[in-house]
Amino acid sequence: MWFKLKHFIGNIEETPEPIETNIIGKIPNWINGNFLRNGPGKFEIGNHKFNHWFDGMALLHQFKIDNGQVTYKSRFLSSSSYQVNKETSRIAVSEFGTLTMPDPCKNFFQRFLSRFELPKPTDNGNVNFMTYKGDYYVSTETNYMHKVDPETLESVKKVDWSKFIAVNGATAHPHTEPDGTTYNMGNSYSPKAHYNIIRVPPTKTNEDETLEGATVLCSIPSKDKSRPSYYHSFGESKHYVVFIEQPVKLDLMKIVTGKLTGSSISDSIYWDPKLNTIFHLINKQTGTVILHSLICLFYYSNLKHKQVITGHVYNTLSRNFPRRIVIPLNIDKNTPYDQNLNKLPGSTATCIRTSKDKVIFDLHGEELHEYGGLEFPQINYGQYNTRPYRYFYGCGFRHLVDCVHYLHFLFKVWEKPGLYPSEPIFVPSPNATAEDGGVILSVVITPNKSTFLLVLDAQTFEELGRAEVPVNIPYGFHGAFNNKA
């Protein structure tokens, strides 16, 4: 039986005042803070409907956890897009997969001219919660984001990246260092497309400050000036930012002429199998780009073995698998061919130079095919970001289309028929010394039943407790834990 899409997405009413939840089992008393979630919650405006899951109006969620008890509330982000849509009772701002139509209140000539206008970026920050300088923000992938109060979920201030640095947008997945310094990436398009590495200082000089002091660490030109690669996130180690330039491309001309041709942003994204995947390593101290065109990634894994998978949708979607890639930093004319260049102790990854400018990486094994790949990967981020880590957590990919769903701890699995867990967030226990000492939090969608907050022991994956919410919650994207302990 298929999980009906209406349980995943649909118009949901906000719950701006906190409500009690029903506790089953035991929520550890030491968990003290706000579990914040973000995602789309409204897909119909008046008689108009959004075309894509990514388009829905941002609905912010808060699970307040204190002394074993949990309350829940939610609030629509009061973005400019939300407000104008509400006031006009129509979709007035284009989103990722939905192109707005000309205002019917305008005359014919005005409607005709509006098709030649450049598309205005949305500020519908429905992707993620993140922090800059200790403050919480929500964003999508445009140049706008909103500073929000994690207690009230209200928007405090709308912030425009382009007022501080020359970028046309930024990802919703920045990386924060232990000292609070934050790195992100954003594109610029004049005179040609560039990928920019952004650095935001760790602290504020006054309470009203937002992105003041942000700088572009380096700017990497796109291989194709009018068709840069699309990217949703990037990686980092202690000394390097790691950007992967993939063959997933953005057709800028199609975006610019979208109103004229009736094309949304999603229509401009395409895969070019003729292109290689290129790793860019950027030194955090100097901004120097290392191995700009030397290391090319060729995925070669046997993905065609027989599987018993139900559902046309699942069979036509690509699968996501975890890869731990080891990149040798010092490759020159003396680097030997046809032998493993990975010398890290305990690592089973292989990295082999096969020709003058090609290095082949071996990837994941076959075990994860059983679960359809993984999505929403997370680690013990606060303690192990930029450091070697052993464990990661994620959702089995089939959670989007099948009836049994999984949360993975390497190969420790939590699964229940008919339950749909969301992104797992790790919360360390007080004074924990082990990397996996803590709990996993995940919001679980249950068709025709109460949605609940799931709490798992991060080491054993045993269920400790759940907090049932008496209102509908749509399936969201990403979130964060605002620790009050």
Kindly report, residue by residue over 20-57, the tens digit of the pLDDT: 999 999 999 999 999 999 999 999 999 999 999 899 99
Q: What is the mean pLDDT of the chain?
A: 83
pLDDT exceeds cutoff 60 at 453: yes
User: Which tokens hold the place of 363?
Assistant: 């990837």
Residue 313 is classified by DSSP as H
Secondary structure (DSSP) of 425-451: EEEEPTT--STT-EEEEEEEE-TTS-E
Residue 309 is predicted with a pLDDT of: 33
Q: Confirm if 63 and 453 have CB atoms less than 8 A apart.
A: yes
Residue 447 is predicted with a pLDDT of: 73
For residues 297-310, give the mean pLDDT. Answer: 30
Residue 252 is classified by DSSP as H
Does the annotation list 478 as a binding residue?
yes
pLDDT exceeds cutoff 60 at 367: no
pLDDT exceeds cutoff 50 at 466: yes
Interval 67-98: pLDDT, tens: 999 999 999 999 999 999 999 999 999 999 99
Q: How far apart are CA 383 and CA 389, in angstroms?
A: 9
Pairwise pLDDT comparison (355 vs 388), residue with the higher score? 388
**How far out from the chain centre does Cα 200 lie?**
19
pLDDT exceeds cutoff 60 at 416: yes
Query: Within 13 Å of residue 181, how many CA atoms lie on the same side as its CB?
Result: 13
Nearest residue to 321 (alpha-carbon basis) of 246, 360, 271, 372: 372
Residue 262 is predicted with a pLDDT of: 84
Does the annotation list 173 as a binding residue?
yes
Asked which of 2-6, 50-54, 304-308 is least confident by mean pLDDT, the reply is 304-308
Give 383's pLDDT tier (boundaries 50, 70, 90).
very high
Residue 470 is predicted with a pLDDT of: 93
Pairwise pLDDT comparison (294 vs 317), residue with the higher score? 317
Does the annotation list 52 as a binding residue?
no
Does the annotation list 312 as a binding residue?
yes
Give 351's pLDDT tier (boundaries 50, 70, 90).
confident
Secondary structure (DSSP) of 55-101: GSEEEEEEEEEETTEEEEEEEE---HHHHHHHHHTS--S--SS-PPP
Residue 40 is predicted with a pLDDT of: 95
Contacts of 240 (CB under 8 A, 6+ apart): 281, 282, 283, 284, 290
Give 291's pLDDT tier (boundaries 50, 70, 90).
low
CA distances in angstroms from 29 to 46, 67, 430, 466, listed in the order given: 44, 4, 11, 13
Interval 193-222: pLDDT, tens: 999 999 999 999 999 999 999 999 999 999
Give 318's pLDDT tier (boundaries 50, 70, 90).
low
Q: How far apart are CA 271 and CA 11, in angstroms?
A: 32
Interval 124-180: pLDDT, tens: 999 999 999 999 999 999 999 999 999 999 999 999 999 999 999 999 999 999 999
Give 356's pLDDT tier (boundaries 50, 70, 90).
low
Residue 174 is predicted with a pLDDT of: 97
Residue 175 is predicted with a pLDDT of: 97
| Portion of the chain with pLDDT greater than 90, in percent | 58
